[in-house]
Amino acid sequence: MKHLPIFASAVAILTGCTHPLTVKNLNNYKNPSVIALQERLRLGIRPTAPDLQGHRLIHQVSRDLLKYNAESSTAVDDDNTYIDVIADISIVPEYKGSGWNFWVDFPGFLIWTPAWHGYNYQANYDIDVRLNDAKTGKLINTIFVPVRLDVKHADISRTWTTGAGYPTLGLAPLIGGLVTMNYDPTVTPLVNQEVDPIVSDYIAQQIALTLHYYKSAPRDRLEKLEQLKNDDIISEPEYKTQRRKIIDSL
């Protein structure tokens, strides 16, 4: 019996506490419906990304465009014979930790905060899309989508210090809190798996909406734009911006 407290402490240290990956605001980037192009377009995609995962995300955008009636390929010919639109897609990811994670560890270890709250992280994607007519080179439109995701996660690789909180009189989580303020790179693959399918589909829909009236006559383009606004697919400010671009292009 005298070894029971030591055994219990060892179990606490080894098990720590965990919190599954949760992206609190991911629903903000889920498309409520599919608004496909009325006329199929062929896109040549030119990707720009700092890492392999960024290129994978752009490739996923290319595949998702199919459901919006757009063929796409990353191979762009010099004369663009079989391409209607050139899409330059740039993705810059950024992952951040949070100073709040210190308090999650200390004094949060007293009530096992990492287990029910998790550590706070930020996953950001700055996504730029530039659409040009493949035949004339004329700029059609540009799209900038700042994706900002609030992530929560905790696993034993970080929470073991909170499990050691009581045996070390709070010293372990105090030191651990200084570490957990920084981003945990092991979370990135989990974020990519959870987030990328949603974000790629969201970007594909934004591209399709931008090209929705691309080949139409000016009057038809204005009518289609009006319909998008009336169906609450685009906002009033976006409607005014797009309408001005159509008028200026005449």
- Report pLDDT digits (tens) over 7-29: 444 444 444 477 788 899 999 99
Other Cβ atoms less than 10 A from the Cβ of 250: the count is: 6
Q: Are 225 and 213 in contact (CB under 8 A)?
A: yes
- Please tell me which residue, 189 or 216, carries the higher pLDDT value: 189
Say what the pTM is: 0.76
Most confident of the ranges 24-28, 95-99, 110-114, 182-186: 24-28
Residue with tokens 């949760």: 22
Determine the Cα–Cα distance for residues 73 and 95; give it in Å rounded to an integer: 29
Give the rounded percent of residues in the chain with a pLDDT score beyond 90: 38
**DSSP assignment of 192-228, as one string?**
HHHHHHHHHHHHHHHHHHHTTTTTS-HHHHHHHHHHH
pLDDT tens for each residue of 132-181? 998 888 899 999 999 999 999 877 766 556 665 555 655 555 555 556 76
Q: What is the pLDDT of residue 5?
A: 46
Of residues 226 and 205, more confidently modeled: 205
Check: CB of residue 229 under 8 Å from CB of residue 236. yes
Residue appearing with tokens 């290129």: 55
Query: What is the Cα–Cα distance from 202 to 199, expressed in whole angstroms?
Result: 5
